[in-house]
Each structure stands twice: as structure tokens, then as C-alpha cells.
Amino acid sequence: MIDAHGCQQLHTVINAQDELVASTDPAWIGALARHGYTLDDAGEIAQLAGAVRPLFRRSAQIVRG
């Protein structure tokens, strides 16, 4: 059984792999553009950047327990 901390760590690894692929995949970038989204210099969806910090803080709270 994986506990919450283990799930969070696995999620982090999967996200890192996804971010690398997403920031370099022309099909993904094109799909984003068709819906009005762009990637910023960090490879994040620029229009969603404001949601990242609050979610990250909540994630850190969950890991701390």
C-alpha cells in the first residue's frame, strides 16, 4: 500500500516526465494554441500560472500531514 507521501512523490516524478514531454511535443503545443493557451519560459501553461502556487501550497500541507 502506498501512503499519501509516497503518492505525492510518485506524482512529482510523473509530472516531471510529463512536463519534459509536454514542453517539447509539437502536437501538444499546437493543441494548447488552438484553445488559446501558451507555454511560458518554464514550460508551464501561462494562462494557468496563477493556480499553481495555491495548489502547490496545498500539496505541501498534505505531505506535512
How do the domains of the chain map onto residue ranges? 4-64
pLDDT at 62: 67
CA distance 24 to 26: 6
List alpha helices for the chain, DSSP H.
4-24, 26-34, 49-64
Give the pLDDT score at 33: 94
Q: Which residue has the cell 511535443?
A: 25
Residues of the chain scoring pLDDT < 70: 1-2, 53, 57-60, 62-65
One-letter-per-residue 3-state SS of 28-39:
HHHHHHHCCCCE
At 39 the pLDDT is 87
Residue 51 has a pLDDT of 77
Residue 40 per-residue DSSP state: -
pTM: 0.53
For residues 54 and 8, what is the distance between their CA atoms, to the nearest angstrom? 16
Q: What is the pLDDT of residue 19?
A: 75
